[in-house]
Amino acid sequence: MIRVDEIVEQIDALQRSDLDAWIRDALISPQDEDGTPVFSEMECARIRLICTLHYELEIGAEALPVLLSLVDQLYQTRHRLLKLTAAVAAQDKAVQTAILAAIDAGSGTDGGA
C-alpha cells in the first residue's frame, strides 16, 4: 500500500490538488489504513493512467469520468471474456465445436461493428 505523499513523490507531473480532486470526484478510491488514505497497486496504476490522460493527452477534468467509465467497462468485458473462454475450454470438444460454429454463424449479422 502506498500513501498519498509517496504517490505524489513517485509521479513527477502529479499535483496534490489534482489527486485530492480525483479522490473527491471518486475517480480513485484510497483505502483507509489507521486513518491514513493509502492506495493499492491497482489504484496506483489508475492514478498513473489518469495522469497520462490529464497531463500528457490534455483530457479535461469534465471528460475524465466518462473516459474512465469506458475504460472500466472495457476491463470488465475483458475479464468476463476471459472467464467465458475458460468455461468453454473446460467443455468437451463437441461442445466447443458447437460454440465456435454458433459464433461463426452469427459473425456476419453485426453490421461490421
CA distance 95 to 49: 40
Full-model pTM = 0.75
For 13-62, how does the pLDDT look when each residue is reduced to its tens digit (9 = 90+)? 999 999 999 999 999 999 999 888 999 999 999 999 999 999 999 999 99
For 75-85, how does the pLDDT look when each residue is reduced to its tens digit (9 = 90+)? 999 999 999 99
Beta carbons within 8 Å of 25's beta carbon, 6+ residues apart: 61, 65
pLDDT at 109: 57
**Candidate CATH numbers 1.10.1660.10, 3.40.50.2300, 2.30.40.10, 3.40.50.300; the one for domain 1-61:** 1.10.1660.10
CA distance 95 to 88: 8
pLDDT exceeds 60 at position 110: no
Element (H, E) at 31: strand 31-33
